[in-house]
Structure 1
Amino acid sequence: MKKIKWDKGHGGSDPGAVANGLQEKVLTHKIVEYAMDYLEANYTGFEQRTTRAGDQTLTLSQRADMANAWGADVFVSVHINAGKGTGFETYVYNGGVSSQTVALQNVLHGEILAAMRQFGNITDRGKKRANYAVLRETKMPAVLTENLFIDSNDAKYLKNEAFLKAVGEAHARGVAKFLGLPKKDKPTPSQPQQQKASDKKLYRVQVGAFGDRKNAERLAEELKKKGYPAVII
Structure 2
Amino acid sequence: MKLYLDPGHGGSDPGASGNGLKEKDINIDIALRIRSLLTTNYENVQVRMSRTNDSTKSLQQRTNEANRWRADFYMSIHCNSFNGVANGYEDYIHNLLSDQSRTANYQDILHDEIIKVNRLNNRGQKKANFHVLRESTMDAFLSENGFIDNSKDAALMKQTSWRQKVAEGHVNGLVKAFKLNRKTTNPSPGDPSNPNTLFKVIAGSFKSKKNADARVTFLKGKGVEAFVTTATISNERWYRVQAGAFSNRKNAEERLNTIENTGVDAFIEI
TM-score (norm 2): 0.66
Contact in 1 for aligned 2:39/2:47 (Cα 8 Å): no
Q: Which residue of 2 aligns with 1:147?
A: 145
Q: Which amino acid aligns with 2:21?
A: L
User: 1-side partners of 2:102 and 2:41: how far apart?
Assistant: 23
User: 1-side partners of 2:97 and 2:60: how far apart?
Assistant: 19
User: 2-side partners of 1:96 and 1:24: how far apart?
Assistant: 28
Q: Does 1:95 align with 2:93?
A: no
Q: Which residue of 1 aligns with 2:80?
A: 81
Q: Does 1:156 align with 2:155?
A: yes
| Structure 1: 4+ residue segments shifted above 6 A | none
1:56-135 paired onto structure 2 within 5 Å: 56-83=55-82, 84=84, 85-96=86-97, 99-117=101-119, 122-135=120-133
Percentage of identical aligned residues: 41
| CA offset digits 1:130-175 (Å, max 9, x no partner) | 0100000001110000000000121111111100011012111211
Q: Which residue of 1 aligns with 2:167?
A: 168
Contact in 1 for aligned 2:110/2:173 (Cα 8 Å): yes
User: 1-side partners of 2:31 and 2:107: how far apart?
Assistant: 17
| CA offset digits 1:180-207 (Å, max 9, x no partner) | 11111136768xxxxxxxxxxxxxxxxx
User: 2-side partners of 1:162 and 1:109: how far apart?
Assistant: 20
Q: Which amino acid aligns with 1:115?
A: V
SS of the residue 2:12 aligns to: coil
User: 2-side partners of 1:124 and 1:48: how far apart?
Assistant: 28
Q: Which residue of 2 aligns with 1:15?
A: 14
RMSD over equivalenced CA pairs, Å: 1.5
Q: Which amino acid aligns with 1:68?
A: N
More strand, by proportion: 2
Q: Which residue of 2 aligns with 1:32?
A: 31
User: 2-side partners of 1:28 and 1:127: how far apart?
Assistant: 19
Q: Which amino acid aligns with 2:55?
A: Q
Q: Which residue of 2 aligns with 1:213?
A: none
Contact in 1 for aligned 2:66/2:136 (Cα 8 Å): yes
User: 1-side partners of 2:97 and 2:121: how far apart?
Assistant: 28
Q: How many residues align?
A: 185
What 5-or-longer segments of structure 1 have no aligned partner? 191-233
User: 1-side partners of 2:77 and 2:18: how far apart?
Assistant: 18
SS of the residue 1:45 aligns to: coil
Asked which structure has the greater CA Rg, the reply is 1
Answer 1 or 2: higher relative contact order, Cα 8 Å, separation at least 6. 1
TM-score (norm 1): 0.76
